[in-house]
Amino acid sequence: MHLWPGDLAGATSRRETPLRRGAPWPHPGEPGGSGTLETVSTAADLPLLAIVHNSDSVSSFDLAEAASGLCRILFVLDGDPSMARLLHHFGPVTDITGLRGPEAAARVRLLQPDGIATFIDALLLRTAALADDLGLLFHSPDVAATLVDKYRQRQALQRAGLPGPRFRRIDSGDVSREALGADLDYPVVVKPQAGAASRETTLVVDRDQLLDAVARASAVGIGAMVVEDYLPDSEAAMAPDYASFVSVESVMGAGRLRHLAVVGKFPLAPPFREAGHFTPSQLPPAAVEEVLDAVGAAVLGIGIAVGGVHTEVKLTPAGPRIIEVNGRTGGAVPDVLSAAGGGSLLEAAMRVALGQPPGDGGLSPCSRVGYKINVQPPMWAHVVHSIEGLEAVSEIPGVRSVNLLRKPGDAVDWRLGSDEEVFHVIGSVADLDDLRAVRHRIDDLVSVSYG
């Protein structure tokens, strides 16, 4: 089914917001039952980029803004058919929900896209298969499989010679003590072999806790788990008020890798939930170079040839160690880099998807420090009771947006990871001292009670 602009009825994505005012995509008429498409003449000289999309992906408004003047967007909808009415306002939409690979590729081929991309891990495999069938630039199916499988990725990094933790895979169907082995040095990190946002990711200090963690994951339908050594923190990187890890935003294309941003992190909410991030990071230039060298080796070791890349790096006393490599742009990082006065990560990822080489300008220059502060519920919490003082946060100088994700009465569960945040704040400040002051000011202003 090919869809064209219509009204907004039926748009249900929790990440989509009401349509901004402006001219919608031209409506040349509904396609006929034969599956042929009428020609859209507006911006016809721009290439057409297929974006495989669902309700958990980057906002369609942000994608449309990044594409402005660069390309037209074809939204390839895989799941959440009710989103289609909203998406038609930005361009043609084709729905491949439930279609097998060849059928899905045939439907997308009708619109003759010039490139393909996705901005969500859950659709990497689907996008790689489509790209392979259509002869478009993207991760190969083999590389995509490595990017979404934490055990397979650890193996690839090990083969590439990158230092990292010892690791093993545990089938959730076998939680016997024998399956765990006797040679683990606790504490260890246990996480799903396939997952995102730190869901069911925890630190365990003995075998009984490990058995409980694997059994709990199995009970909620999570498959195999990966167990790996806990990497120690670099105390120098943490002081003051920082976590001992960073992320790096990169783009790869035309045989060239460019790093666009190094993103610092606030101390994690236990066990491994993100409490926010900022760019530029707190790292001195020498440490930044070490991190970028490690990321470059990881990207090449996995075999990434094109696309946006989001890499998480642990800072340890022995040097930077790769936590994981993701084959898409970091979900919340584009807003933070924009707030800092840097370039558009989404646009950079779109350019390489269309075959353009990344620039060679190095890290995107920033005039300020952009930030996103996430407030996570405590591990013991099950429901939000009340939120007070949030209105006053918008009056803090430099705050761009305050976004409430959980209202009083909503359930929360730390096991669902970083996406369970109660609210977040996005903005920019002059320097890291001001950032520290903003965080403390939010703590003073806002009170959240839980049950």
Give yes or no for residue 324 having a pLDDT over 60: yes
373 pLDDT exceeds 80? yes
Domains of the chain: 2-138 (3.40.50.20), 165-229 (3.30.1490.20), 235-450 (3.30.470.20)
Q: What is the pLDDT of residues 31-71, one digit of tens each?
A: 322 233 333 335 678 999 999 999 989 999 999 999 999 99
Which residue bears the tokens 């650890």? 154
pTM, rounded to two decimals: 0.88
pLDDT in tens, 200-212: 899 999 888 888 8
Percent of the chain with pLDDT over 90: 72
CA atoms of 155 and 257, how far apart (whole Å): 22
Please say if the pLDDT value at position 19 is more than 70: no
- 248-270 pLDDT, tens digit per residue, is 999 999 999 999 999 999 999 99
| pLDDT value at 16 more than 80 | no
Mean pLDDT highest for which of 19-28, 74-83, 175-184, 376-385? 376-385
- Kindly report the average pLDDT of the chain as a whole number: 87
Question: Which of 9-23, 75-89, 126-140, 241-255 shows the lowest mean pLDDT across its residues?
Answer: 9-23
pLDDT band, very low/low/confident/very high, at 29 (cuts 50, 70, 90): very low
- AA identity, residue 414: W
Sheet of 225-229, strands arranged across = 167-170, 225-229, 188-192, 202-204
Sorting pLDDT into bands at 50, 70 and 90, what band is 413? very high
Q: What is the mean pLDDT of residues 149-175?
A: 90
